[in-house]
Amino acid sequence: MKKNNLGIAAFALLFSGCSPLTSSAHDEKHQLELTVHEVQTNLDDLRYDIHCFQTELQILSGRIKHYENTLTAFKEQDFAKQCEKLQQLVLGLQTLEKKWASAETTRHTESEELLHLTSHAKETSAALTQFKTRIEELESDLAIGQRRFEELGKLKNNIEALGKAIKKTDVAKIYKVRPGDSLEKIAKLHLTSVEKIKKLNSLEQDLIVVGQELKIPDGQL
């Protein structure tokens, strides 16, 4: 859609030379020079914004790598600490999304200003070709940024899925063997099976002793 608008603006500018002159050749040249200078200034500003966007994307890539490493460390940490850090990561992602939305708003505003200036500029065909090439480069950069944004969204979904999985993780209970207890009795008491208790506690036989501490799996295991 942007290319179509620029094409219309370019044709309008090329054919504007066919309209009757309303001012002297000197004034017309001076006006053209002012317009070209103004457009060039805005292009320089836009180049700076693109550089800022690229820097922001590099920062985002580094943070995403950091988050991936942090997720790996979650497996070796306490359950409560994992939940706390997961919440912090979600908040961090929300902050990054807000920053990205703000950058997109700024980019959109700059693009509209560039289109407005281009539609009123009176330049030669060579200058128009350079503007078109530059705009195509910007669109390519924006497409790359969009892909990075989609990757960020996928990472968020993965983190949220991990959070749900963590919340569903069953935590083993500790049971101290009492007089008269047996593995079968303990299994029935906790709605589980003897085999699961033996597997969780690395028991090779059914023999247990009073005072022995056993890990009891959740009844849903």
Token code pair at residue 124: 């030669």
Using alpha carbons only, give the angle 132, 3, 29 rounded to the nearest 5 degrees. Answer: 45
Token code pair at residue 192: 């589980």
Residue 71: per-residue pLDDT: 76
Indicate the residue type of 107: R
Give the tens place of pLDDT for each residue, 164-189: 555 444 456 999 999 999 999 999 99
Residue 10: per-residue pLDDT: 44
The answer to whether 71 and 159 have CB atoms below 8 angstroms apart is yes
Which segments of the chain belong to CATH 3.10.350.10?
Answer: 173-216
Q: Does domain 173-216 have CATH number 3.60.20.10?
A: no
Helices (H) and strands (E) in the chain, counts: 6, 2
The ranges of the chain with pLDDT < 70 are 1-23, 74, 78-79, 121, 162-172, 219-221
17 exposure class (CB count in 10 Å sphere: 0-12, 13-18, 19+): exposed
Alpha helices in the chain (DSSP H): 2-15, 25-74, 79-120, 125-168, 183-189, 194-201
The answer to whether 85 and 70 have CB atoms below 8 angstroms apart is yes
Neighbours of 120 (CB within 10 A): 13
Query: Does the pTM exceed 0.75?
Result: no
Token code pair at residue 212: 């022995």
